[in-house]
Every structure is written in C-alpha cells, then in structure tokens.
Amino acid sequence: MTVETVNPATGQVEYRHELMAPSQVEGVLAAAQAAFPEWSRRSLDSRGEVLHAIAAALRRRSDGLQRTMTAEMGKLRREALAEIEKCAVACDYYAGHAAAYLAELDIATEARRSYVRYEPLGCVLAVMPWNFPYWQVFRFLAPALMAGNVAVLKHASNVPRCADAIAGVLEEAGLPAGVFGVLHIDNAQAAEVIRDRRVVAVTLTGSERAGSSVAGNAGAQLKKCVMELGGSDAFIVLEDADLDRAVAGAVASRFGNAGQTCIAAKRFIVVDAIADEFTRRFVEAAAKLRLGDPGDEATTLAPMARRDLREELQRQVEASIARGARPLLGCKPDASHAGYPASILDGVVPGMPAYAEELFGPVAGILRVADEAEAVRVANDTSFGLGGSVWSADPERGERVARQLQVGAAFVNAVVKSDPRMPFGGTKRSGFGRELAGHGIHEFMNIKSVYVA
C-alpha cells in the first residue's frame, strides 16, 4: 500500500512510501529482541554517553530536521527548532539524572537486607502522533533508553520522513543496531505488533479513539501501556488577573503549533467582572497573528497539518455558532490548502462542541462565569483532564484554585507545558500513566522487591 505525505502549506505531495511487508516488520522486531540483552546490561554511564551523543546529533542536524518537520506537518520554523532543542535537552537530562531515579531503594524490614530495584522490561512499542513529531517520540524514548529498554516506533502516516530522520540521528550517535526501529505500518498491522510476544509494553499519544483501541488490544494481551490522549484545557482568568500577562499567555497557549496541541488552552473561563476587557484584548492580540508559509520568519500562525482536520474543526465551529456562540474573529477556513485563521468564539455554553469537545486547531472559546467557584465548576465540567491554568494577581489564590482542578498538570500564571523535570499525563478521558521525570522512567520498568533473610 502506498502512503502519500501532503505539504500542508501548498497541498503538494511531498513524499510517497510503501507500508512494510510482514517480513520487514519481522526483521525490525527480531532486531529489537536481539539487541535487548546487551543494551540492558550496559552501565548507566555507558547508556548516558549515547544519550548525550544523541543530543549533540540533534543539535548538529537541527536545520535539516526542521525542514522535514515543516514540510510534513507545517510547523513554523522557529517552533520546529525549539522542539528539536527540547528533545536534546531531554536526552541530556536523562543521561544526567537516570542514576538518581533508578538507584536501589533500601526498605527497613526484619530481613538482613530488603530493597527495591528497577529492571527494564524489554521492547516498547510507541504509537505516536504528528503534531510534535520529534518531541512526542523523545519524550518516551529518552527515559526508555536510559532504563535499558529497546523501542519500535509506529509514527503517524503523514510524518514518515520525521520517523526516518529520528532513526538517522540515533544511528549517527552510535545507538546499537536494533535498539530502536521504525515500523512504517497501518493500524491493522500495529494491532498485530501489539499481540507479538516480543513487545512487552505500549505507549501512545493520540486521540481518545486511538487510545481506546490500542489500550484495549494491549489489555487483552496483559501488556502494560501508557496513554496520553486528548485535552480541553481550561484557562481560568480571575477578576484580579494581570490582563496583559494573561492575554499574552492566552495567545501563546491557544495559537502555538496552529492550536494543534493536547495541552493548549481551549476553554477560556473568564469571570464576568473582567470578561469584556479580557475578550477585547484577546481579540486584538490574536488578530495580529499572520497565517502563511511556515518556512517564512514573518509567519506567526502555521497552517493546520491536514485539510481533513481543518474540515472537522470547521464543522465544530459551525455547530457551535448554530447553537448560539458568537464569532468574534476568524471562524472560516483560509483560501490556502489547510490554513485556518486565529479564531475566537464568545458565549460558549453547554450543548456546543466548543464546550464539550476538543477543538484541535486555532479556535478559542470564551466561557463567561460569575465568580471563582463557578470557574472551578465549569473547568471540571469536562470529560478531559490533561492540564489547566489559573491567572490571578495573588499566587496563593491561584494555587488554591489550581489544586481544585481535576487535571494532571495545573499551572498558575503560566502556560501549561511539558518539562523533563516534572511528570506529564492526564486523568479522566485524557489517559493514564505518566511520562517524564522519575515517574516516566519507572513506567516501563519492573519494580522488583528483593528480600534477603
């Protein structure tokens, strides 16, 4: 089967490739199985040297990696370069901190010695999305490799060259053959790989639908999995917020990566006392964003990654308007192949897609509330639970509100982001398990109790 990659900015076919035959899939899995014993026995210092080398290779090849990402999924040049640097930082971080995370933990019992040790599981299958085609991979890969696991990647079908570029970086850095492999396969083939006895665990970042399917298949095989799924993050603006700071955060969070981010702010929950002023400033700031060629430094809003995604976003916008939402800015597709302008809907209430669904594109919804208590209630009135932020001049008040949010990450006077030093993941239908920090490196390890009488 032939798969095409279409440039989001031009609509032109960038690349065609064939899905792997069963014999090719077998080769990748066999190589991973063969590589695991030696890689898992290496010292942490030895694995750390490879991770540092990977970070260096990412930085050396950043220009080429950026061009591939921009062509395949439309990311702005500066955003792409920042993503590549973030991958390098994660590799360096785990190379330097894995020893502390994986140190044996002594437990006081009646035994001569009792302790907990961490052992790698084996081959981890990663099913990854297109919106951060390098970072999503390295977010799981850096800790997995430092833990001594090996990995195979089934990347999104519209970023095949990004997947191959990652493999090239790892090879250049000296990662032994078989420790990482790319599988150019479809969803049916991925289900077969999950069932393969050589795959011991699965991690997925993607939609609820994809997560349900993959987690179901993994569960049927009694295999550990981590799911990072969709989000509809609340952005709570209280009446004492610094509006200049809040508006800047709102624009960055909602329109970065063309709004195609799970942890982007999507529901702007604003207290009535300042709602008009916040909305006016938000519209003014968003209207200055320039949609265009993502390779042009003057462009400040990238196109969406695929035309079908833009069509689905427009369906959600039109359905919300039909039910009473007021379009204040944009809300209609651009004339380009997959462009969608910065858009804002006011008067979003229950019963609208903009209230209940994830809008995976550059559309913000304004939800007006009477006070702090209603803001918390509305923020938690969602099936998602990935992240959320609170904006208040009083950090203690902001923290009090943040602690009430039913999310995996709550930020005060800052935009929600992932960071190698902090665990990342969601609750409710935003998934389960954690990536990054110590929690992330422990997810794909056997946490073994040892008792010596």
Residues assigned a catalytic role: 228, 262
Give the sign of the dihedral formed by CA 171, CA 175, CA 177, CA 179.
Answer: negative
Q: Which of 387, 385, 383, 382 is nearest to 367 (CA)?
A: 382
Please give the structure tokens belonging to residue 370.
């009477």
Q: Are strands 105-106 and 445-452 parallel, antiparallel or unpaired?
A: unpaired
- Residue 340 CA from chain centroid, whole number: 21
